[in-house]
Chains A and B, each alone.
Chain A
Amino acid sequence: MKAAPFDYVRVSSIDEACQALADGGEDARIIAGGQTLIPLMAMRLARPTLLIDINEVDDLTGISVNGDNLVIKARTRQADTLASDVVKERLPILADALSHVGHTQTRNRGTVGGSLVNADPSAEIPLIAQTLDATIIAQSTRGERTIAAGDFFESAMATTLAPDECLTAVRFPIWPAANTGFGFHEVSIRDSDFALAAAAAQTTLDSNGNCQRLSVAICGASPAALRLSIVEETLMGSDLNDDAIKTACANIDDLIDPQSDVHADAAYRGRVAKVMARRAISDARDRAKGELV
């Protein structure tokens, strides 16, 4: 399991990275954590001709709050994000999801941006980006552009990032903390496996305990993480009682498109995706009410 030959360049700035991408052609790839790319290269399922190493680009790492947004630069390690107090406090849904990403050692190398670009249909970080309408920021020699998460994930392992673009940061909206709660649930075979299905939800309740804001998304049951707008619309304004949540989540068959593989058949994925959505919403409700830590 040795990679096919390739060239390597280490860059020290975002501009250098973009220039290298522009010069390197279609088969040049950015490498940061490499926790998915390197196994694919070992199996020769990926064959970049040039790897552009951004691990020494200091401008690409860091977590900050910018107004109503939490900005995570692309090369920030998953482990650092998980350990970050500001993430735990302002974006607890992401912290919770990150604890399900791989395990300690892969999180020590794996990056937030890498997971987004990789766009695995079962991955947790893209799921949270979809749930919260995150904004992806990309740069190339042609300049910078922002892409809404909803427009970013195209299908399984594919995004709308152009071959010459380098993802530089992701911006997660921070919701006002009062009466807001999140839920995250996933079903996997082993603890650290990719999710067979997962769901994330965040809600804000009004003073009567009714849902005034709700975001729900699932992954593992469609080519990319999927926002369940229809569920959100159905539940908006309701008191999010268990029956209402269950009914709303039962009606997503037309939206999802689960696939079968060696780990689970499509029908199973479809069924448990609904269960995960239901549990995520109900946890979000309970946390918003302060009934769940």
Chain B
Amino acid sequence: MPDTTASQEYRYITKKRRVTEDRRFITGRGNFAADYNLPGMLHVAMVTSPYACAEIKGINAEAALALPGVRYVLTGAELFENINPLLSGLDLPNVKRIPLAHERARYAGEWVAAVVAESRHIAEDAVELVEVDYNPIDFVIDPEEAMNADAPLVHPQHGSNILCDKTWVWGDVDDDFEAAPHNLAFRARWSRCSTIPIETFVVTAKCDEGKEMLDVWASIQMPKYPEQIARALSLPVNAINVHFDVDVGGSYGLKRGIRQTVIVSYLTRKLRAPVRFNEDRLENMSGGEMHGPDRIFDMEVAFDDDGIMHSLKIKATDDAGCYPGRAPLQLGKPVSAIVGPYRIKSASYNAISVTTNKTSQEAVRGFGQAPTNFAIEAMVDKVALKLGLDRDEVRRRNLIRADEFPYRIPSGSEYDSGDYHTVLDKLQDSAGWQDLIAKRDAIRATGKLAGIGISTCLEPSGGNSSFEPFFNPKNDTTTWMESCLIKVDMLGSITALMGTSTSGQGHETLLSAVIGEVLERDPDTIRGVHAESLGALPSNSPVGSRMAIMLGGAAAGAAEKIKKQLLEIAAHNFQLPVDRLIYDGGDISVDGDPEKVMNWNLLIDIAHRQYHKMPLGSEPGLQAQHTWEVPTGGALPAEDGTVQMYPCYAFEAHIPLISVDPETGQVEILDYHMGHDCGTVLNPDIVRGMTFGGIAHGIGAALYEKFEYDEGGQHLSGSFMDYLLPSSHEIPHVEMIKHYTPSPLTTFGQKGSGESGYLGAPAAIASAVNDALAPLGKSIETLPMRVRDIEALINGQTE
């Protein structure tokens, strides 16, 4: 089924267009951070802690420094004296984070010292020679144990391992539970995993002493990166230039190497030479930013005989790992869609962030929504099972109806638009629901287990900062903007600047298509540029499924301003009001008198060279910028604990068919069907790709991927031999159907899709495995569902 949108009025967006960025990647000409090789560059390797928790009594670098080619050994103590602690998402004045362990190492693999040498090889040789005097002390790995009064404290100065514990009640939860004839409770576990990119984090910094400028090339995807460097190093932001034209080799939220950046920035200033830190995979997996949400859900739902869900209680206990960073805020985004796509009229949410002696958690695709969706969908399946109703039917009865939008959920978010029933209908139709059931039953008849999964989930998109003040009242950030600056040069070509890097989202393609659409100019002639930070306008980077909405909106806004300037120039020259003029493909003619026309080249020439033909007092040249605040953003949470989180809500439904080998627990995905509605699709290939990729991440989370720790606090998943990423064998062909319900809040009706697939696939796979286990009267609520877990359950080897 071809991807065509209902909106045929568009010239360029919604149409198949090749992705501009791809050309450099297929020819080996990408500009990745590790491709920048500066003369005289020094290399960093990390000394890592072998203990889950240990006092650092001393570091002796003498032997390391004596090795030829070694230039420096940097310790946490030196950094502590010379930089400011890194920002935390919560108000935790006593938890200070320094890029290298200072006084105490708090997880196995934590970076304790940075060795600088003329080559990475020598740096690694020297790492082995650094003698660290450790005093191992008690540690805690399990988040629930960490909450016990007698648990070892990860940050003794904080006085507790609980970083935050907040409860919100929206609506009459107690009354609704009281009134409902049924309720059920269960625990679901989303294990520590993430969306690990194939490129590790890489950063190179160079101090240009002539310009007094710190230049940074990094594989970064993070809001306010230059500002964070500036704060840590007490530099003005205008003394730092981040080169955002670096291609980032995948990120999905994770590439937030502020520690690495501060280390190399400090070192390049100190050693007066360019310094690179190119994480190797071991440093990356245990000490970097690769770990994602690690969450226990205690769920309760109240429902009636028809399967209508009336109220919901969620307690989410999240293991943030050792430092809070932004991890606890990943408990916040799910408030945006706390009842999923369902008409549940009240809800309570208890969000607890706990610190343990594990690697710190970072932001991962969906920012906590995928785990929450998994728990909500498991709940819906359980309601169906308890009442003996079909799982699709229970969903249908509870899904918000198309005529109810905009729909305000109990926690205060207003869902912009949707047609969930139609998407589910279309999907079941295209998947051949009855045929799938027959296929499943035929497999069951051969003695194998088989199951069909179903999930119907939301992708909140557009991003804003509401969860920040929500979790930290001292933070009153409400601005969450994106910008675009368009310049039309003297010869008429169009260049558009954005203030962020790309990690595969196709922003250059987005800019050219959107600007081409508004100005009616061929997108292939429009260049999108990832401007360096000093030349860029404010940005919040590609997080929260927001760039189609926000960068798209900013670009359209800037293009409209260009168009307005052109019309004013033409109006001045024709001596007619603007409303008498027709803009067509960059040329402007007089309505009713098509002979009177000023073409694009002439208008541009006037703008750049013929001030005498310009409207009085207008700016010469032709450039316009537009900075756009996120729609529905800009307000602090209300006193009743409600808040409008993200502006736009995309919908996705998944139906996989799987088989399970009852003797080995191996799962095979036989068919995979997915229905997707993210409003107007700006580039069909980009949206398809992101969605397929998100499904692959979701299958990984559901079946394979976990950062495992042993009882001694050692991290067991530090390489790709131990942390299993699904390959082309494990990821099936996906049949995707599209539906297009535009958002009323965005320029073209687009919603986000950067997290699509990942937000529904884990729930769907879990649903399928549990459908396969249902004839045995068994189920699993813990991800990943590994072969050994499934087999043990089937064969009665476990509870």
Interface residues, chain A, with chain B CB atoms under 8 Å away? 1-2, 4-5, 39, 43-44, 187, 189-193, 196, 262-265, 267-268, 271-272, 275
Cβ contacts A to B, 9 pairs, < 8 Å: A1-B124, A2-B120, A2-B124, A187-B664, A189-B786, A190-B726, A190-B729, A191-B729, A268-B792
- In the complex, A1→B721 CA distance in Å? 14
Task: State how many angstroms separate the Cβ of B139 from the closest Cβ of chain A.
Answer: 19
Inter-subunit contact B125/A262 (CB<8 Å)? no
B795 within 8 A of A: yes
Inter-subunit contact B282/A43 (CB<8 Å)? yes
Inter-subunit contact B788/A262 (CB<8 Å)? no
B721 contact set on A, CB distance < 8 A? 39
Take A190-B727, A268-B792 as given contacts and tell me if A4 and B704 are in contact as well, using a CB distance cutoff of 8 Å.
Answer: no
- In the complex, A97→B791 CA distance in Å? 24
- In the complex, A275→B661 CA distance in Å? 11
Inter-subunit contact A190/B791 (CB<8 Å)? no
Other-chain contact of A190, B121, B280, B724 (Cβ < 8 Å): B724
Task: State how many angstroms separate the Cβ of B127 from the closest Cβ of chain A.
Answer: 10
List 14 additional A-B contacts (Cβ < 8 Å) besides A191-B727, A262-B717.
A1-B124, A1-B281, A2-B121, A44-B124, A187-B664, A189-B724, A190-B726, A190-B729, A191-B729, A193-B724, A263-B722, A263-B788, A264-B787, A268-B787
Inter-subunit contact A275/B120 (CB<8 Å)? no
B120 contact set on A, CB distance < 8 A? 2
A192 contact set on B, CB distance < 8 A? 727, 729
A2 contact set on B, CB distance < 8 A? 120-121, 124
Interface residues of B in 279-306 (CB under 8 A from A): 280-282
Main secondary structure of the interface of A (DSSP, over half): loop
Inter-subunit contact B787/A196 (CB<8 Å)? yes
Take A1-B280, A262-B717 as given contacts and tell me if A275 and B727 are in contact as well, using a CB distance cutoff of 8 Å.
Answer: no
A1 contact set on B, CB distance < 8 A? 124, 280-282
- In the complex, A44→B722 CA distance in Å? 17
Inter-subunit contact A190/B124 (CB<8 Å)? no
Task: State how many angstroms separate the Cβ of A220 from the closest Cβ of chain B.
Answer: 12
B730 within 8 A of A: yes
- In the complex, A55→B663 CA distance in Å? 42
Find the B residue at minimum CB distance from A4.
B125
Nearest 10 CB-CB pairings of A with B: A191-B729, A268-B788, A2-B121, A1-B280, A262-B716, A275-B663, A187-B664, A264-B788, A2-B124, A262-B722
Other-chain contact of B795, A187, A193, A271 (Cβ < 8 Å): A271
A191 contact set on B, CB distance < 8 A? 727, 729-730
Interface string of B703-737 (1 = CB under 8 A from A): 01000100000001101011010110110000000
- In the complex, A39→B120 CA distance in Å? 17
- In the complex, A159→B717 CA distance in Å? 28
Inter-subunit contact A272/B663 (CB<8 Å)? yes
Interface residues of B in 661-710 (CB under 8 A from A): 663-664, 666, 704, 708
Interface residues of B in 778-799 (CB under 8 A from A): 786-788, 791-792, 795, 797
- In the complex, A187→B788 CA distance in Å? 11
Take A189-B704, A264-B788, A271-B795 as given contacts and tell me if A5 and B125 are in contact as well, using a CB distance cutoff of 8 Å.
Answer: yes
Count A-B pairs with CB separation below 8 Å: 59
B124 contact set on A, CB distance < 8 A? 1-2, 44
- In the complex, A15→B715 CA distance in Å? 45
Task: State how many angstroms separate the Cβ of B700 from the closest Cβ of chain A.
Answer: 10
Inter-subunit contact A189/B727 (CB<8 Å)? no
- In the complex, A262→B705 CA distance in Å? 11
Inter-subunit contact B704/A267 (CB<8 Å)? no
Of the candidates A4, A187, A262, A264, the one having the most CB atoms from chain B within 10 angstroms of its own CB is: A262
Task: State how many angstroms separate the Cβ of B395 from the closest Cβ of chain A.
Answer: 31
Inter-subunit contact A190/B704 (CB<8 Å)? yes
- In the complex, A39→B722 CA distance in Å? 13
B797 contact set on A, CB distance < 8 A? 267, 271
B792 contact set on A, CB distance < 8 A? 267-268
A267 contact set on B, CB distance < 8 A? 792, 797
Take A2-B120, A187-B787 as given contacts and tell me if A272 and B664 are in contact as well, using a CB distance cutoff of 8 Å.
Answer: yes
Task: State how many angstroms separate the Cβ of A184 from the closest Cβ of chain B.
Answer: 15
Inter-subunit contact B791/A268 (CB<8 Å)? yes
- In the complex, A263→B722 CA distance in Å? 7
A39 contact set on B, CB distance < 8 A? 721
Find the A residue at minimum CB distance from B719.
A43
Task: State how many angstroms separate the Cβ of A148 from the closest Cβ of chain B.
Answer: 31
- In the complex, A1→B719 CA distance in Å? 11
Interface string of B117-132 (1 = CB under 8 A from A): 0001100110010000
- In the complex, A192→B125 CA distance in Å? 33
- In the complex, A1→B791 CA distance in Å? 36
Of the candidates B120, B121, B719, B791, the one having the most CB atoms from chain A within 10 angstroms of its own CB is: B791
Task: State how many angstroms separate the Cβ of B41 from the closest Cβ of chain A.
Answer: 16
Find the B residue at minimum CB distance from A191.
B729
Task: State how many angstroms separate the Cβ of B185 from the closest Cβ of chain A.
Answer: 29
Take A1-B282, A262-B722 as given contacts and tell me if A189 and B787 are in contact as well, using a CB distance cutoff of 8 Å.
Answer: yes
Inter-subunit contact A271/B787 (CB<8 Å)? no
- In the complex, A190→B700 CA distance in Å? 11
B787 contact set on A, CB distance < 8 A? 187, 189, 196, 264, 268
A264 contact set on B, CB distance < 8 A? 787-788
Task: State how many angstroms separate the Cβ of A109 from the closest Cβ of chain B.
Answer: 17
Interface residues of B in 570-588 (CB under 8 A from A): none
Find the A residue at minimum CB distance from B710.
A262
Find the A residue at minimum CB distance from B121.
A2
Other-chain contact of A265, B727, B730, B788 (Cβ < 8 Å): B788
Inter-subunit contact B730/A190 (CB<8 Å)? yes
Inter-subunit contact A271/B791 (CB<8 Å)? yes
- In the complex, A271→B787 CA distance in Å? 12
Find the A residue at minimum CB distance from B708.
A262
Find the A residue at minimum CB distance from B120.
A2
Interface string of B251-281 (1 = CB under 8 A from A): 0000000000000000000000000000011
Task: State how many angstroms separate the Cβ of A280 from the closest Cβ of chain B.
Answer: 13
Task: State how many angstroms separate the Cβ of B277 from the closest Cβ of chain A.
Answer: 14
Inter-subunit contact B704/A275 (CB<8 Å)? no
Task: State how many angstroms separate the Cβ of B731 from the closest Cβ of chain A.
Answer: 10
B281 contact set on A, CB distance < 8 A? 1
Inter-subunit contact A272/B727 (CB<8 Å)? no
- In the complex, A4→B708 CA distance in Å? 28
B786 contact set on A, CB distance < 8 A? 189
- In the complex, A2→B787 CA distance in Å? 34
- In the complex, A67→B788 CA distance in Å? 44
- In the complex, A5→B120 CA distance in Å? 13
Find the A residue at minimum CB distance from B662.
A275
Interface residues of B in 311-352 (CB under 8 A from A): none
B708 contact set on A, CB distance < 8 A? 262
Find the B residue at minimum CB distance from A197.
B664
- In the complex, A196→B790 CA distance in Å? 15
- In the complex, A5→B797 CA distance in Å? 48
Of the candidates B664, B726, B792, the one having the most CB atoms from chain A within 10 angstroms of its own CB is: B664
- In the complex, A267→B798 CA distance in Å? 11
A272 contact set on B, CB distance < 8 A? 663-664, 791
Interface residues of B in 109-147 (CB under 8 A from A): 120-121, 124-125, 128
- In the complex, A1→B48 CA distance in Å? 13
- In the complex, A193→B722 CA distance in Å? 10
A268 contact set on B, CB distance < 8 A? 787-788, 791-792
B727 contact set on A, CB distance < 8 A? 190-192
- In the complex, A129→B280 CA distance in Å? 37
B730 contact set on A, CB distance < 8 A? 190-191
A190 contact set on B, CB distance < 8 A? 704, 724, 726-727, 729-730
Task: State how many angstroms separate the Cβ of B47 from the closest Cβ of chain A.
Answer: 14
Task: State how many angstroms separate the Cβ of B647 from the closest Cβ of chain A.
Answer: 39
Find the A residue at minimum CB distance from B703.
A189
Find the A residue at minimum CB distance from B127.
A44
- In the complex, A267→B717 CA distance in Å? 21
Of the candidates B663, B704, B792, B797, the one having the most CB atoms from chain A within 10 angstroms of its own CB is: B663
- In the complex, A267→B666 CA distance in Å? 16
- In the complex, A264→B726 CA distance in Å? 17
- In the complex, A271→B790 CA distance in Å? 13
